[in-house]
Amino acid sequence: MDLVGDILIELKENYKDSKVRDVRVGASWTAVLSRNLGICHNFNKPGENSVKDAGTLMEKTTFELSEYVKSWDLTEASVGVAAINSIINPAGKIRKNFDALRNLIETSKNKNISMVGHFPYSEEIRASAKNLWIIEKNPSPGDYPSEAADYLIPKADIAVITGTTLINKSMEHLLELCKKNKVYTIILGPSTVMSPILFDYGEDMLAGCRAVNVDALMNKVSQGIGHVKEFKHDVEFIVIEK
């Protein structure tokens, strides 16, 4: 199976000629405006590399930008994910303004939780859960390294995975671990690609967002906005369940 390939096939069939209206690559976030505004976290390291064809990105179709998701340059890949998010219209069983993390405080009681990435309310979740294992590519004290996912996810009842794992190409393997071990799986964060294709890979809940204040959010991305809380009023948080 090829998660990225399947997402791109869906886009090519439905949105091949969609036009790019704007692209912003900020200090912490990337935004692409086409049919909608799509955003993605940006692991940018200023001065290291330029985005391929920078300065002419708006001359491409949104599908062409979406193919940047295949890049191993993480900034380029963030452009690809933001482009994907700008043309996918979330569909299915949608719940608006549902806080998946706050809900997890209740549903994690006496359960083992594997969390790939750092999220708010982790201490509240830890207090409720039997175990909370935070897995990080660059672990802080008390975290587990990314290599521990193969050991810890099979032990979990619930796995919470950041949507940015699509950027670094680890999402498909993490979903394989979850599906094989029948772990309830949540992909979470503004970068999350809200495509039902992820359900075919074992996903149970997609918790992402869509922009409601487009101009404000674009300006904030351009001007170096950092934390999600700084643009929470510019987006609508939505959940799609399997």
Cα(137)–Cα(130) distance, rounded to whole angstroms? 23
Q: Which pTM was predicted?
A: 0.94
How far is Cα 176 from Cα 69, in angstroms, rounded to an integer?
20
Q: Which pLDDT band, with edges at 50, 70 and 90, does 37 fall under?
A: very high
Q: Are the C-beta atoms of 200 and 32 separated by less than 8 Å?
A: no
CA angle in degrees (0–180, nearest 5) for 61-39-169:
85
66 in Cβ contact with 40 (< 8 Å): no
Judged against a pLDDT cut of 80, whether residue 92 lies above it is answered with no
pLDDT digits (tens, 9 = 90+) for 143-165: 999 999 999 999 999 999 999 99
Neighbours of 123 (CB within 10 A): 9
Structure tokens belonging to residue 205: 């809940």
* Domains in the chain, CATH or no CATH each: 3-89+210-236 (3.30.390.100), 93-209 (3.40.50.11590)
Whole-number pLDDT of residue 46: 61
pLDDT of residue 180: 95
Phi, psi of 87 (to 5 degrees): -120, -15
Mean pLDDT taken over the chain? 92
Range of weakest confidence among 40-44, 77-81, 83-87, 94-98: 94-98
Cβ–Cβ < 8 Å for 218, 22: yes
**Alpha carbon distance 174, 160 (integer Å):** 10
Note whether 90 and 208 are within 8 A (CB): yes
**Dihedral (C-alpha) 142, 166, 78, 139: value to the nearest 10 degrees?**
10
Q: Is the pLDDT of residue 119 over 70?
A: yes
Average pLDDT over residues 218-222: 96
More confident call, 130 vs 45: 130
